[in-house]
C-alpha cells in the first residue's frame, strides 16, 4: 500500500505522473506513491474503486494536483474529503497559473505548494519529508538547472499550454 496518494483529474494525468516521477527521484527515502491511472498500480480485473479506498486508507500524505480546472472537479473534492476525514496530511499542489492564494475554501486552509515557483519543487519534497517524519539531513535546495526539476517544469508547462 502507498504512503503518498496523488489525486488529479484525468485530463492532467501527465502532470500527476510528472510529480510522481519527480518524487520517486527526489524524496531521498524509500516510499510508495499511488497514482490511480498507473496500469501497474491497479490491475485488470480489480475493483478500482475498492483499491482507491484502500490506498486512501493507507496513505499518510495526499497530494492534490490542482489547476484552475481541477479545483472544482467532483472527483478531486471527493478524494480530498476522504483524506481530510482520515486525518491525512493534505497538500494542494498548484500549477498552470493557479496560485495558492487563490484557492477556494476549504483548500485555502491548507498550506499549498506552487510548482510554478522556482522553490516549489523543493518545498514539496521537504514538506512530504516533514509529514512522513523522515529522520536525517534535509536535502539542500535544488539548483535551477537540476535535471529532475527541469523535467517536472517542462511537463507542467507543456500541459499548461494546451488549448
Write out pLDDT tens, residues 5-15: 999 998 999 99
Helices then strands (H, E): number in the chain? Answer: 5, 5
Backbone angles phi, psi at 28, to 5 degrees: 80, 10
What nine digits make up the cell of 109? 486552509
Pairing label, strands 33-35, 61-66? unpaired
Q: Which residues contact 161 (CB under 8 A, 6 or more apart)?
A: none
Distance CA 96, CA 78 (A): 22
CA distances to 5, 51, 101 from 116, in Å = 21, 31, 13
> Is residue 94 predicted with pLDDT exceeding 80?
yes
Q: Which domains does the chain have, with CATH numbers?
A: 4-160 (3.40.50.10140)
> Is residue 152 predicted with pLDDT exceeding 60?
yes
Mean pLDDT to the nearest integer, 39-60: 89
DSSP classification of residue 38? -
> Is residue 160 predicted with pLDDT exceeding 70?
no
Contact 76, 9 (CB under 8 A): yes
> Is residue 162 predicted with pLDDT exceeding 60?
no
Partners of 7 in beta bridges: 64
Residue 28 falls in which region: left (phi positive, over 0), alpha (psi -120 to 50) or beta: left
Residue 132 CA to chain centroid, in angstroms? Answer: 14
> Is residue 113 predicted with pLDDT exceeding 60?
yes
Q: Which of 62-66, 94-98, 104-108, 138-142 has the lowest mean pLDDT?
A: 138-142
Give the confidence band of 37 by pLDDT, cuts at 50, 70, 90: confident
State the pTM of this model: 0.91
> What pLDDT shows up at residue 161?
55
Give the confidence band of 67 by pLDDT, cuts at 50, 70, 90: very high
Burial class (CB in 10 A: 0-12, 13-18, 19+), 85: exposed
> What pLDDT shows up at residue 38?
74
Amino acid at each position: 500500500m502507498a504512503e503518498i496518494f496523488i489525486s488529479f483529474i484525468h485530463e492532467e494525468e501527465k502532470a500527476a505522473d510528472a510529480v510522481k516521477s519527480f518524487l520517486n527521484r527526489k524524496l531521498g527515502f524509500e516510499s510508495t506513491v499511488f497514482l490511480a491511472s498507473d496500469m501497474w498500480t491497479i490491475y485488470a480485473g480489480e475493483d478500482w474503486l475498492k483499491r482507491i479506498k484502500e490506498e486512501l486508507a493507507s496513505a499518510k500524505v495526499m497530494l492534490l494536483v490542482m489547476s484552475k480546472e481541477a479545483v472544482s472537479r467532483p472527483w478531486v473534492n471527493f478524494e480530498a474529503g476522504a483524506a481530510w476525514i482520515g486525518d491525512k496530511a493534505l497538500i494542494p499542489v498548484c500549477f498552470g497559473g493557479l496560485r495558492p492564494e487563490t484557492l477556494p475554501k476549504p483548500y485555502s486552509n491548507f498550506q499549498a505548494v506552487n510548482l510554478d515557483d522556482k522553490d516549489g519543487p523543493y518545498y514539496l519534497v521537504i514538506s512530504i519529508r516533514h509529514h512522513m517524519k523522515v529522520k536525517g539531513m534535509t536535502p539542500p535546495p535544488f539548483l535551477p538547472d537540476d535535471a529532475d526539476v527541469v523535467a517536472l517544469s517542462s511537463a507542467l508547462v507543456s500541459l499548461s499550454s494546451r488549448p
